[in-house]
C-alpha cells in the first residue's frame, strides 16, 4: 500500500489521494488502508515518514564516525542531494501541499526539517570549531551550501520533468547537474568557497 501511495502521491497530493485510489493501485480492499493506518491522514503520515527515515538514516550514518569533519560534511551533503534527486517529485509535492495549507504536509515538515537541518548545522559548527571553516554566520553558510548543492537539483530536475530545459542544455542535465560526479563537484566547490572565507 505504501509503494502504491508513493507512486500516486506526487501526482495527486494530499487532497487528490484517496483511500480508494491507494487500495485499487495496491490491489487490496479499501478497509485495509483504514485497518493498518487508521485514516487517510494516518496513511499519508506513514508514507511521508517512511521516505524521510530512509534519507535520515543515510544522513546520520554519513555524519558520524572518525573521518575528518569535512569528509563527513561532504558525505552528509551528498546523501541529502542524492535523496532529493531520487525523490524530487515527492518532495516537491510535500512542499506544495504544505504551502497550500495541507495540515499533514505542514506537520510532517515541522516535525522532520529540524532533524536533518540539525545534523548539517552541527557538522558546520564542528568544522568551524576545528578551524576547517572560518567563522561565518551559520544561516549564511547554510543557505549558501543549499543554494550551491540543492537548488540546481530542484531547478534543473523540475525543468527537465516539465520539458522546459532549452534543447541546447538538455543533453547535459543528467551528467552536469544530476549525476553523483556533478553533485560532488558542487559540494567541493561550495566547501572550498566557504573555507576561503571570502
- Assign residue 124 the CATH number of its domain: 1.10.357.10
Determine contact, residues 81/187, Cβ cutoff 8 Å.
Answer: yes
Q: What is the mean pLDDT of residues 112-127?
A: 95
Residue 5, Cα to own-chain centre: how many angstroms? 18
Say which residues have a Cβ less than 8 Å from residue 23's Cβ, sequence separation at least 6: 1, 29, 30, 32, 33
Helix axes 69-86, 180-196, angle to 10 degrees: 140
Domain that holds residue 160: 2-196
Please state, for a pLDDT cut of 90, what percent of the chain lies above it.
Answer: 85
Q: How many domains does the chain have?
A: 1
pLDDT tier for residue 111 given thresholds of 50, 70 and 90: very high
Q: Is the pLDDT of residue 56 over 90?
A: yes
pLDDT tier for residue 62 given thresholds of 50, 70 and 90: confident
Neighbours of 198 (CB within 10 A): 6
Question: Which pLDDT score, from 0 to 100, does residue 188 have?
Answer: 97
Say which residues have a Cβ less than 8 Å from residue 11's Cβ, sequence separation at least 6: 89, 93
Q: What is the CA radius of gyration of the chain?
A: 19
Over the stretch 159-192, which tens digit does the pLDDT of each residue have? 988 999 998 898 899 999 999 999 999 999 999 9
Q: What is the mean pLDDT of residues 72-88?
A: 95
Q: Is the pLDDT of residue 152 over 90?
A: yes
Q: How far apart are the first and last CA of the chain?
A: 50
Amino acid at each position: 500500500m505504501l509503494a502504491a501511495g508513493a507512486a500516486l502521491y506526487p501526482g495527486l497530493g494530499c487532497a487528490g489521494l484517496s483511500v480508494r485510489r491507494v487500495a485499487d493501485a495496491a490491489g487490496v480492499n479499501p478497509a485495509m488502508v483504514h485497518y493498518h493506518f487508521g485514516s487517510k491522514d494516518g496513511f499519508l503520515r506513514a508514507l511521508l515518514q517512511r521516505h524521510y527515515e530512509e534519507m535520515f538514516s543515510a544522513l546520520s550514518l554519513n555524519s558520524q564516525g572518525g573521518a575528518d569533519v569535512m569528509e563527513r560534511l561532504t558525505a552528509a551533503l551528498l546523501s541529502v542531494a542524492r535523496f532529493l534527486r531520487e525523490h524530487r517529485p515527492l518532495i516537491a509535492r510535500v512542499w506544495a501541499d504544505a504551502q497550500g495549507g495541507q495540515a499533514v504536509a505542514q506537520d510532517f515538515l515541522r516535525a522532520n526539517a529540524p532533524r536533518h537541518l540539525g545534523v548539517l548545522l552541527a557538522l558546520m559548527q564542528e568544522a568551524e570549531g576545528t578551524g576547517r571553516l572560518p567563522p561565518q554566520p551559520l544561516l549564511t553558510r547554510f543557505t549558501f551550501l543549499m543554494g550551491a548543492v540543492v537548488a540546481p537539483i530542484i531547478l534543473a530536475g523540475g525543468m527537465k520533468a516539465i520539458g522546459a530545459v532549452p534543447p541546447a542544455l538538455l543533453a547535459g542535465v543528467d551528467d552536469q547537474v544530476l549525476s553523483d560526479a556533478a553533485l560532488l563537484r558542487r559540494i567541493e566547490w561550495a566547501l572550498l568557497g566557504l573555507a576561503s572565507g571570502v
